[in-house]
Structure 1
Amino acid sequence: MSFMKMELLPPCPVVVVDDITCGKELDFEVDVKVQNVGNVDGTDFAIVYSKPPASIKELISNSTLATPIDGFSAYGNVIFVNSCGNDTSCTKTDDFPAAVEVAKNADATIIIVGLDLKFEREEQDRADLKVPGHQIDLVNQVANAAKGPVILVIMLQDALNSMSLRLVPEFGYPGRTYKFFNGETLYPFGYGLSYSQFNYSMVSSAYALNLKLGKLQHCYDVIYEDGTTRPPCPVVVVDDITCGKELDFEVDVKVHNVGNVDGTDFVIVYSKPPASIKELISNRLLGSKGCS
């Protein structure tokens, strides 16, 4: 646990409440007065969260402090086997047989695997998408032995910070989401939604739009590749243009089913800036439409 700078640390910052067994000394009540200030009868739920002091970092700010075991126990008897010990690295397999034996007799088996901040956090990325250690071996052994259905729960960190979605070249930050991806797409959006295959051909579309700027509308600059001819007005903000439908255009695409079965496909239209412009969104979704 770490504290914000210039804060005085208390003599005992944290204790584990599970270690305290002196009756009801941790029990307390919260008395909340709820007043209906509307014009109709209604039901409301008062939800109480725990929150650490503002000076403490790296703790959950609002939490009901429930574990997966707490949640599952509300629906039936839970037999818990800590198969990897207390180490997410899961380098030891000594407790795997115990998990297999429990799965052989359970009506349903829930396997929880995943990562913690040791493997994935804002300043540390993973080299692959695998879970650590022998977790996959645990999944396979327990799933093969299970008597009933098996549910796999993968818990990941995937922490997000306040950094913009846009790329930040000076920090080597490439930007988030498909909008900034310039590599080869292995599985494009919508892949696998149909058993058939489709080909596309462009029938017609607007090549260019002529816009007349008003007195309060401005041109903005963008960064071009070296040696590129710059137009007189590189960029305008389309939200500033309010002259009816002058920005509307149609895209006419012919979709041909070339597979052996009937199927439905979705035509997805993206916008893409000229290749000579740097540091702009690579792909922007404009619209989609299904066809059979």
Structure 2
Amino acid sequence: MRAASKADVTVLIVGLDLSVEAESLDREDLLLPGYQSQLISQVAEVSKGPVVVVVMSAGGVDISFAKNDPNVHSIIWARYPGEEGGRAIADVVFGRYNPGGRLPLTWHENDYVQMLPMTSMPLRPVDSLGYPGRTYKFFNGSTVYPFRYGLSYTNFTYNLVSSNHRLNISLNEFGHCKDLEYADGLYKPACPAVQTDDLQCDRHNIRLAIEVTNTGNRDGSHVVIMYWSAPSGIGEAPIKQLIGFKRVFLKSWRSEIVNFELNACKSFGIVDYNGNKLLPSGGSKIEIGDGLVTIPLQINFHRGPL
């Protein structure tokens, strides 16, 4: 605390190690071990300059207190870096390198571990037992940082250049309509879904072109992330699911067209409670980034040639 009160900048390196998280161990909570949380809060309270918290861990940590502390100016997740890790962290802290990473997992709040036993395998919520869902697909509660969260020293914007919004799929004699569980009172199409094994999936693609622009004064890389949300009301469907991502490097105030080609069966399919891979019909949506661009998508099934 005395050192931080005189320093222009304070960098605190905290986290876990292999005595806490390893293949042979189970973590008991999602908190920082020992007195690390107290260290961060007390140092941040008296620091003269900005406080940077570097977290070393393989899994998520509940650092809500630091996230909400106005005296903590930056949080960096370094995972477990190699021998050049110190130099890499310094390059980010001092601005020599512009980070463009995304979280590959959800950082939950600590009370999540009390909501369900870790031996519960279903990803979907178990309403009868009060268990929440697992992963970004099915968990709809509050988080410390969600899956795909990440920051940069610059900003990026999106513009939809072109896309096709409709798929009209002809069913042959092998394509049979499958029922889906819909919420009460919501519209259910005459043919709710078709098993993807009965479709010639390579013929049904959606093409999208997104213009990505770096609107800041720093060069940087950016991951364009694309999600799909199923038609409203389908009980088996996830909240959303990742269907594509591409990394692009852009110089300051430059743009680039990023193209996606999405296979309908792989990108817009769901798995029902019985394990069937289904392509649902109706109106769904594609979301680019954090909802910066939303594209409606309509899938229709027809018997015989179109």
TM-score for both structures, normalised by structure 1: 0.45
Larger Rg: 1
TM-score for both structures, normalised by structure 2: 0.43
* Greater fraction of residues in strand: 2
**Structure having greater relative contact order (Cα 8 Å, sep ≥ 6):** 2
